[in-house]
Structure 1
Amino acid sequence: MTPVPSAPTDTTGRIVCRGIKRRFGDKQALKGIDLKVGPGGITGLLGPNGSGKSTLMRCLTGLIRPDAGHAEVDGLEVRGDGADVRARLTYSPGELHLYGEMRGDEHLRWLLRGRDASAQTRALEMAGRFNLPLTRKVRGYSHGMKRQLCFAAAMAPDVRLRILDEITDGLDPSRRGQVLEALREDADSGTTLLLSSHHLGEVDRACDRMVFLNEGELIADESPTSVLERTSRLVHLTYAEALTEEQLKRLQIPAVERIQPSGERVSLWLRASDPREFLATLAQETDLQSPRRIEYGSLSLSQMYTDIYGVRGV
């Protein structure tokens, strides 16, 4: 059974939620979320579009009020101590609202207004890691560059908690890797990070914990390792020539959940914790020719959701 935590009974975490509910018109966006995030580490908040991730993050920052329930950040009640709570964290929203006529460096200063001078310096240093053209007006930035600018601002203040909504959206793999590296460095220094993402691969690389929402409910709370152990692994094998029907039948063993041949290329969905070890065993047991090429694919978050939880629509 998928592990779902019981309601938190203490307030010894960076974040403590009990029974958080929020409705927008006829839609119940959050249906009583219980969640505790302790100090340090990276927690990934995952779920289909409309599952309640962004709504929960906005409730935690005090930008919107829950209809019911209780939320605390660093021992402060969000509902009553909103200004103090926001001073202790940084928040980067999923939707970007930037001023196109500002230059990049001007926008960093504007985003960090009210923070100390050291935050400005750190933001410029982070932007430098991305080689952002800070003297150019933001209207000339790509979506990915705008996202990096907001990330630089979110990572600059010296706070204990960062809440980052879809922080890698629109970034190419190289830039995404830089962001994940910076997140890991920040967590290793003791900062607590709560981030949402649609990329299972990056959550696996970056997060210590994965919390899954669906239709406003928390349906699972696990480590990346435990999730991936129950997820099919995708492997593409390319042979010198197409396998015959008889050869394909040899691949139909219990650990292979699905076979999809396409000419010389065969895609396998494996229920195996170590695909490389499995392939070595497969070669011995089936007496098939060795493939010319082996490629390891990754399931999308949508496929993983369906595979483990039977939930569609990410």
Structure 2
Amino acid sequence: MVAPTTAAGIVARGVTRRFGSKLALEPVDLDARPGEITGLLGPNGSGKSTLMRCLVGITRADGGEVSVAGVTLAGDGLAVRKVCAYAPGELSLFGELRADEHLAWLVRGRPRDTLERARSIARELELPLAARVRTFSHGMKRQLLFAATMAPRVPVRILDEASEGLDPHKRGALVAVLERDARAGTTILLSSHHLGEVDRACKELVFLHRGKVIYRGSSVDVRARASHRVRVLFQDDAERARFEARAQSLPASRRHALGSALIFEYEGDDPRPFLAALATLPDAPAPRALDYGELSLEELYRDLYGVEAC
């Protein structure tokens, strides 16, 4: 066994997985570097969870090579899981245990000080450690698992949908813990099916669709793709269609409908001429809301790749 090293991060090459006749993962390459949070993004069913389970050996890949913190994945993956903390996307907790008891169960087998760190993180997230888990909301259960995953002193963490079910305040608290851990040199791979507060913490982003990597790059690149887009939202599809019929004169290089919204890509670097033209469009229904410089995952998939994020 290769000694674990924080300098190695996660390296995956050509990882494939098939379930019967369905190819769940095409050959996937992935790199996650120490001291960074790498976001694995995609809609439900895109292969994120399967890939993560393959990285830690819970699901055996049909092909490819994986190393985590310099440890080569082999056999049942036990050697990798000793140097990596993994939080699955599925929640399977014991409702009758108190939260503190459940933390102890989740970090069993780790060094003794792991439990106290898990308790500290749980308190930071304002979880009631004396309460029984069955009284927890879905988001609170997710945070309990998160606290247990962030506690071990390991060089790599892999978290599947860690922010699912959390309100913006709780997501912000979760991000603070993740960023602190990354600054300490930990490699973090974090999956999500939406762009939001958690994804803003990611330095690198990898997008999966139907088991295939369709985009990889820095979060700065993704935000740059959003910088020339305006999203106009309407009460319903009918109002959107009425507006669209009158919007042909707007100075936009591209436009498309997404549900009850219209997405415009304006020309130039300054949005003000486009916004002024939008505001003075004659005989057009008033939009319900408008924003620009923000790109949703659905828009990224449809606008850049011609596929639906669903």
TM-score (norm 1): 0.81
The one-letter amino acid of 2:18's match is R
**Could you say what secondary structure the match of 1:271 adopts?**
strand
Contact 1:30–1:217 under 8 Å retained in 2 = yes
Cα distance between partner residues in 2 of 1:119 and 1:153: 8
Q: Partner of 1:176 in structure 2? A: 171
Determine which of 249, 254, 257 is the counterpart of 2:255: 257
Q: Which digits, 9 at most, give the CA deviation of each residue in 1:113-144, with x for residues without a partner?
A: 01122211111111111211111111111101
Determine which of 158, 161, 180 is the counterpart of 2:156: 161
Contact 1:108–1:120 under 8 Å retained in 2 = yes
Cα distance between partner residues in 2 of 1:49 and 1:204: 16
Cα distance between partner residues in 1 of 2:108 and 2:199: 34
Q: Does 1:306 align with 2:298?
A: no
Contact 1:130–1:148 under 8 Å retained in 2 = yes
How far did residue 84 of structure 1 move?
Answer: 2.3
**Could you say what secondary structure the match of 1:100 adopts?**
coil
Change in CA separation of 1:151 and 1:254 when aligned onto 2, cut-off 3 Å: same
Q: Partner of 2:112 in structure 1? A: 117
How far did residue 111 of structure 1 move?
Answer: 0.2
Percentage of pairs with the same residue: 48
Q: Partner of 1:5 in structure 2? A: none
Q: Partner of 2:265 in structure 1? A: 271
How far did residue 191 of structure 1 move?
Answer: 0.9
Change in CA separation of 1:235 and 1:122 when aligned onto 2, cut-off 3 Å: farther
Cα distance between partner residues in 1 of 2:46 and 2:69: 25
Cα distance between partner residues in 1 of 2:67 and 2:182: 20
Alignment of 1:1-314 (within 5 A): 13-80=8-75, 82-202=77-197, 204-231=199-226, 232-234=229-231, 249=247, 252-254=250-252, 257=255, 269-271=263-265, 277-278=270-271, 280-282=272-274, 288=280, 296=291, 298-314=294-310
Bigger mean CA offset, 140-149 vs 173-182: 173-182
Cα distance between partner residues in 1 of 2:268 and 2:182: 28
Contact 1:229–1:272 under 8 Å retained in 2 = no
Cα distance between partner residues in 1 of 2:221 and 2:77: 36
Cα distance between partner residues in 1 of 2:119 and 2:127: 9
How far did residue 296 of structure 1 move?
Answer: 2.8
**Could you say what secondary structure the match of 2:220 adopts?**
helix
The one-letter amino acid of 1:281's match is P
Contact 2:58–2:76 under 8 Å retained in 1 = no
Contact 2:156–2:186 under 8 Å retained in 1 = yes
Change in CA separation of 1:141 and 1:285 when aligned onto 2, cut-off 3 Å: closer
The one-letter amino acid of 1:234's match is R
Q: Partner of 1:7 in structure 2? A: none
Aligned length: 291
Q: RMSD between aligned alpha carbons?
A: 3.3
Cα distance between partner residues in 1 of 2:275 and 2:95: 58
Q: Which digits, 9 at most, give the CA deviation of each residue in 1:184-205, with x for residues without a partner?
A: 1211221111011012123541
Change in CA separation of 1:202 and 1:21 when aligned onto 2, cut-off 3 Å: same
Cα distance between partner residues in 2 of 1:38 and 1:249: 45
How far did residue 45 of structure 1 move?
Answer: 0.7
Cα distance between partner residues in 2 of 1:286 and 1:112: 56
How far did residue 230 of structure 1 move?
Answer: 2.5
Change in CA separation of 1:249 and 1:128 when aligned onto 2, cut-off 3 Å: same
Q: Which digits, 9 at most, give the CA deviation of each residue in 1:227-277, with x for residues without a partner?
A: 23224342569xxxxxx98xx6586112573699x9xxxx763425999x4
The one-letter amino acid of 2:302's match is T
Change in CA separation of 1:14 and 1:288 when aligned onto 2, cut-off 3 Å: same
The one-letter amino acid of 1:48's match is P
The one-letter amino acid of 1:46's match is L
Runs of 5+ in structure 1 lacking a partner? Answer: 1-11, 238-243
**Could you say what secondary structure the match of 2:176 adopts?**
helix
